[in-house]
């Protein structure tokens, strides 16, 4: 797709303004010419982004797990580039997904915390996003799986067309779980409409007062096949009580045991139907988020209970995507990225024996913390990149983050970034492709409060709040004084060096405050 000349034409103004305008135009034309030259000589690759949910750094075989087998993910790692310092943009799901698609740290925008299933969409229609930039480059774009970025205008009518949604930010096709598996409504939404809805049985959803006459877990535990450990005790759907109230839509409600099959089938169909032109598939698993209800064929595979069996199921889903690419002859020209939205959590609301059966399995690998945490276990996650013939198999220690996917994949597609796009997204494409050992020089880690990485140095400024979230038994990184760690010597963040290096603490604190206040970290050329 050609970029119109007027997009680079300088605005009228005084002599200095005109000169600045012409200089800006020349810079943009140079950037565009370089990007165009890079992509003109070869066809655009397909892009498949496989996005696991709550999968920790240590939850797969290629990252050190021994009590669960993950042959498909391990195959990706053997055939691709496995990153040891790859990060989600936040330690919880909604903020990390927001940053992934917008290239903007979620802490910059109000209302980007973990959303209810009735929240309005938090990405403004029309703003540059990862799918919209790829669509402009000629890609067919699709999202399958967990959304959790809100739908509609905040007063959703689930019985009619639900807009705005994925289509308004660049996705041609969508098949969604609106929020999470433990939140109502427990229905799929395909291209802005609830799948299988009977108009005579309309859906009502509430996160306040009770609606309808459906039984709730708090009153009818005898109806449950999975019991909550905290919260998760409202409307019962498929024998599992959820967060929030829901009535109606009986024919449209999902069956948890079939969810992985349903989502994988839709993802494979998207690939099959778009095999004749470049496509971008964002396949966002629900596994291994709670409730963990794997299909019966996976139950008991790992000896780690539903959490381990859900990892096995996730691996099977990954294998189905890889097999589809092989079968269709697309693997050689498809860039596959495999990663997770945040670090791990073992007990996140249901009594599924995950804690009792954990044994010596270390979901976060050698790192401290997990989901909800400013420690490394909160955002350091698996990241694997495979592109046969272009990405050489191996291991990379480059510091990279999912917030950088927007700028990096836009470059891959030959798309210059508009000035307002991806304010925190850096082009680290050479690192992602294994052409450079260097990624970012710094990273802001977000888990309610902020932390700063500079190479191997990690600063956690003092922060209030609980030091341990009791319901999930995860250290948050909160504390009355700053914490400073040398991750090269101390990856587990056990030896606080703040008192020994006050100058470094002061400098990193000032830089973090500057990054927070600036409104962006990527230079605006």
| Positions marked catalytic | 93, 148
Identify the three-state secondary structure at position 474.
strand
Nearest to 205 by CA among 291, 292, 115: 115
Check if the beta carbon of residue 406 is closer than 8 Å to that of residue 413: no
Q: What is the dihedral of CA 324, 330, 333, 337, to 10 degrees?
A: -10
Identify the three-state secondary structure at position 469.
strand
Report residue 126 CA to chain centroid gap: 21
H or E segment to which residue 446 belongs = strand 442-447
Burial class (CB in 10 A: 0-12, 13-18, 19+), 97: buried
Nearest to 13 by CA among 2, 4, 5, 22: 22
Check if the beta carbon of residue 168 is closer than 8 Å to that of residue 125: yes
Could you say which DSSP state residue 392 is in?
A: P
Extract the tokens encoding 205. Answer: 């959803």
Strands (DSSP E) found in 195-316: 204-206, 236-237, 240-241, 245-247, 279-284
Omega cis (within 30) before 288: yes
Nearest-angstrom CA–CA distance, 168 and 124 = 8
Q: CA angle, 127 as apex, 124 and 130 as ends, to 5°?
A: 110
Extract the tokens encoding 114. Answer: 């973990």
The strand pair at 334-340 and 46-52 is best described as parallel
Check if the beta carbon of residue 100 is closer than 8 Å to that of residue 383: no
At residue 260, φ and ψ (nearest 5 deg) are: -60, -40
Buried b (16+ CB within 10 A) or exposed e, 448-464: bbbbbbbeebbbbbebe
Check if the beta carbon of residue 400 is closer than 8 Å to that of residue 98: no
H or E segment to which residue 431 belongs = helix 429-432
Extract the tokens encoding 144. Answer: 């399958």
Q: What is each CA distance from 327 to 71, 262, 320, 476, in whole angstroms?
A: 18, 20, 10, 45
Nearest-angstrom CA–CA distance, 168 and 170 = 6
Q: CA angle, 260 as apex, 259 and 264 as ends, to 5°?
A: 115
């Amino acid at each position: 797709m050609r970029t119109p000349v007027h997009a680079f034409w300088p605005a009228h103004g005084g002599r200095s303004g005109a000169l600045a305008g012409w200089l800006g135009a020349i810079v943009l034309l140079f950037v565009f010419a370089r990007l165009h030259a890079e992509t003109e000589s070869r066809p655009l690759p397909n892009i498949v982004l496989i996005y696991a949910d709550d999968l920790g750094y240590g939850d797969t075989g290629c990252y050190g797990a021994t009590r669960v087998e993950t042959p498909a993910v391990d195959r990706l790692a053997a055939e691709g580039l496995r990153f040891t310092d790859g990060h989600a943009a936040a330690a919880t799901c909604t903020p990390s997904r927001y940053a992934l698609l917008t290239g903007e740290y979620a802490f910059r925008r109000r209302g980007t915390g973990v959303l209810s299933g009735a929240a309005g969409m938090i990405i403004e229609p029309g703003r540059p996003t990862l799918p919209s930039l790829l669509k402009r480059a000629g890609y067919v774009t699709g999202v399958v799986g967990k959304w959790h970025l809100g739908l509609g205008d905040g007063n959703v009518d689930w019985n009619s067309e639900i807009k705005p949604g994925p289509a308004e930010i660049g996705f041609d096709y969508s098949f969604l779980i609106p929020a999470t598996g433990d939140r109502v409504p427990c229905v799929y939404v395909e291209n802005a409409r609830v799948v299988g809805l009977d108009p005579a049985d309309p859906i009502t959803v509430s996160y306040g007062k009770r609606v309808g006459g459906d039984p709730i877990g708090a009153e009818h535990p005898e109806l449950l096949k999975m019991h909550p450990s905290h919260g998760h005790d409202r409307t019962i759907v498929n024998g599992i009580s959820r967060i929030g109230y829901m009535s109606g839509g009986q024919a449209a409600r999902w069956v948890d045991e079939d969810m992985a099959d349903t989502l994988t089938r839709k993802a494979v169909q998207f690939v099959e139907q778009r095999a004749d032109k470049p496509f971008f598939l964002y396949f966002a698993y629900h596994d291994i988020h709670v409730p963990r209800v794997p299909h019966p064929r996976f139950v008991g595979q790992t000896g780690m209970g539903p959490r381990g069996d859900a990892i096995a199921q996730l691996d099977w889903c990954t294998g189905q995507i890889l097999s589809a690419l092989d079968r269709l002859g697309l693997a050689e020209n498809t860039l596959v990225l495999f990663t997770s939205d945040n670090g791990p959590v073992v007990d996140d609301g249901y009594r599924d024996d995950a804690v009792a059966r954990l044994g010596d399995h270390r979901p976060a690998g050698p790192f401290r913390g997990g989901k909800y945490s400013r420690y490394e276990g909160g955002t350091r996650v698996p990241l694997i990149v495979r592109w046969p013939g272009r990405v050489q198999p191996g291991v990379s220690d480059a510091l990279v983050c999912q917030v950088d996917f927007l700028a990096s994949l836009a470059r891959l597609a030959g798309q210059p970034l508009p000035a307002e796009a991806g304010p925190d997204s850096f082009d680290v494409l050479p690192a992602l492709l294994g052409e450079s050992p260097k990624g970012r020089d710094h990273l802001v880690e977000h888990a309610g409060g902020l932390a700063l990485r500079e190479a191997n140095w990690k600063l956690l400024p003092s922060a209030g709040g609980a030091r341990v979230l009791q319901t999930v038994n995860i250290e948050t990184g909160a504390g009355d004084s700053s914490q400073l760690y040398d991750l090269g010597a101390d990856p587990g963040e056990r030896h606080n060096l703040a008192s020994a290096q006050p100058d470094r603490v002061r400098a990193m604190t000032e830089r973090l405050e500057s990054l927070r206040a600036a409104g962006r970290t990527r230079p605006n050329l």
